[in-house]
Chain A
């Protein structure tokens, strides 16, 4: 069971990291969700794996499952849920304001093929010179 849990956490993290590194907001949100699933599983496993033992005191119990990770996971689930909702709303707002679902608000390489970036304002703008990025060189004042 240890191997199975470890592999599931590993696969979830790998998928999550891959998706977060994609440049559009929807995969990023999906990636964050997968990462939070992996975290929850990991926190559970850190209380040691135990089957069929109670988490609360009982006189006839042979052993106990650690109740603290379960409380931690509960907190982590609530926080991750709220954060995911916030990230989705923010992604929608960014899509509405910038006209692109790219995380930078514009597609860096204009792609003429109709399958990507058709009709999006961001994709039609020429890429800005690299030297200006991140140093306040671009655009008008916010």
Chain B
């Protein structure tokens, strides 16, 4: 079908507009339409992912303007994979928001949620750098409002920081795009790759500077050192379903690095080939150390989970920074695992918080939780997966990344940093698990108000947690086929020549 690549962009956009018009009919109707739209997006994403495995890239010329004059959408396996992960995450987060009635805490939650998906899907599909900027702005504007959903003093301050930091980031993005346009005369990613391959030597410095500026912007979105300070407060202060959805937001930065830098400064870029990789690897290692220290030092469960997100992003930056096919395949496996796990952990943390009453998510011994065995078991499962201990998917992801790192000259630095930081994570999570689940008080203090004996909507909210955490055992059981798919995706992503050929001559399509 010819118009297939634009459907994942149109579906949330139209659903969002429809939801805006349906507002007078009340929240129940909005919930139903929003969830049906998210579920339809999941079905579409599964279908598209299945279609992409045939190996053909599909190029969609908006307004039928041929590349590089018009904006092109490029649908390949990497885009299909990101769409699928986003849709799975979105269904879980939205279901949780509906069953816990968090969506009723402010207006327009469902509209903003669809707009967020619209921006995310657009960013994954576009083949034009300026269009990528526009979709970044769409997803950021939706994320600003979602972050503030529900209100509250702490949330507003965290939101203000997030907004200002990202507005400055947008400015730098435009400077980078302007410099690239000035030096290369195009903003189509495939055309930029062709121009960089034939770049005169005197322009190389300018293009490299612009490429590093662009890396700065994507690093800000991905929360790379030293640009990660906005992340912990923003993720820990916002409502749980929004934090769960935001698990994909940092990965958008990593995706943009893989897509834009991997294509424009790919194998045939002459002196500029993979010039950004040492930066990614070095900064990723520093981010990983700081994230592990953050996990260790966190006073609250939700801050700890936010730092775990940071640690997973650092692993991804390291794996992409290895700039090998095995490294990229391992990064994609780890991306799927860490995104769904982080989403599940944020939801699980919220269930625990609601069971602890006034103790909230502070690491103070509280009363025994309702359903403590089930919640404690799930927490241990998720913690084991996040640490990368066998037998869960985090272990395979980290093992694969370390295996890919053995080919790299910095292998000892990578091995040492990853293993030591994993040990720090182990200490921190073992401590928080024992404080939350083992050290319970026999009777409440006199100062304690009445503590909850039941968690409202426990069963239904647990289904959302399980929906996301199910990825952890599934990625182990299906490790072999999944790994083969990831290798195929990585090979297609690194095939820059095929990408260029597909964009400039849509009849070629595939390899």
Contacts and interface: CB of A to CB of B under 8 A. Distances in A.
A binds B: yes
A82 B137 CA distance: 10
Contacts of A75: 130, 134
A104 B157 contact: yes
A28 B181 CA distance: 29
A16 B168 CA distance: 10
A132 B299 contact: yes
Contact of B154 (A36, A80, A83, A142): A142
Contacts of B160: 25, 90-91, 94, 103, 105
A124 B83 CA distance: 49
Contacts of A50: none
A82 B154 CA distance: 24
Contact of B156 (A45, A87, A90, A134): A90
Interface in B297-340: 297-300, 302-304
A103 B161 contact: yes
B236 interface: yes
A46 B233 contact: no
Contact of B174 (A43, A82, A104, A140): A43
Nearest to B356: A141
Q: Considering residues A25, A86, A90, which has the most beta carbons from chain B within 10 angstroms of its beta carbon?
A: A90
A116 B167 CA distance: 28
B170 interface: yes
B141 A83 contact: yes
B72 to A, nearest CB: 15
A79 B137 contact: yes
Interface in B458-507: none
A69 B148 CA distance: 34
A135 interface: yes
Contact of A135 (B148, B237, B297): B297
Given A20-B164, A97-B156, A105-B153, A136 B171 contact: no
B390 interface: no
Contacts of A140: 360
Interface string B33-64: 00000000000000000000000000000000
B163 A134 contact: no
B229 interface: yes
Given A86-B144, A103-B164, A141-B353, A136 B157 contact: no
Given A39-B175, A104-B157, A135-B303, A79 B134 contact: yes
B76 interface: no
Contacts of B151: 97
Nearest to A38: B171
B300 A90 contact: no
Given A86-B144, A87-B164, A94-B157, A46 B236 contact: no
Interface string A71-105: 01001100110110011001101100110000111
Nearest to A84: B167
A135 B177 CA distance: 35
Interface residues of A, number: 44
B161 A90 contact: no
A76 B177 CA distance: 11
Given A20-B164, A87-B164, A105 B157 contact: yes
Contacts of B179: 46
Given A20-B164, A135-B299, A105 B170 contact: no
Q: Considering residues A28, A43, A69, A139, which has the most beta carbons from chain B within 10 angstroms of its beta carbon?
A: A43
Interface string B162-190: 01100110110011011101100001000
A40 to B, nearest CB: 8
Interface in B271-304: 294, 297-300, 302-304
B361 A141 contact: yes
Contacts of B24: none
A10 interface: no
A139 B360 CA distance: 12
B182 A46 contact: yes
Contacts of B154: 139, 142
A64 to B, nearest CB: 13
Contacts of A25: 160
Given A42-B178, A142-B237, A136 B167 contact: no
B355 interface: no
Contact of A32 (B157, B164, B178, B229): B164
A32 B163 CA distance: 11
A136 B303 contact: yes
A128 to B, nearest CB: 12
A87 B163 contact: yes
Contacts of A93: 148, 156
Q: Considering residues B161, B167, B361, which has the most beta carbons from chain A within 10 angstroms of its beta carbon?
A: B167
Interface string B338-374: 0000000000000001000000111000000000000
A130 to B, nearest CB: 12
Interface in A98-142: 98, 103-105, 132, 134-137, 139-142
B298 A28 contact: no
Contacts of B300: 135-137
A59 B206 CA distance: 35
28 contacts: A38-B171, A42-B174, A43-B177, A47-B181, A48-B182, A69-B181, A75-B134, A79-B137, A83-B141, A83-B167, A86-B163, A87-B167, A93-B148, A93-B156, A97-B153, A98-B156, A103-B164, A105-B160, A134-B229, A135-B297, A135-B298, A135-B299, A136-B298, A136-B361, A137-B299, A139-B154, A141-B353, A142-B153
For the complex of A and B, the 10 pairs showing the least CB-CB separation, nearest first, are A136-B300, A136-B303, A46-B182, A142-B154, A141-B360, A137-B299, A105-B157, A39-B174, A46-B178, A136-B299
Interface of A: 16, 20, 25, 28, 32, 35-36, 38-39, 42-43, 45-48, 68-69, 72, 75-76, 79-80, 82-83, 86-87, 90-91, 93-94, 97-98, 103-105, 132, 134-137, 139-142
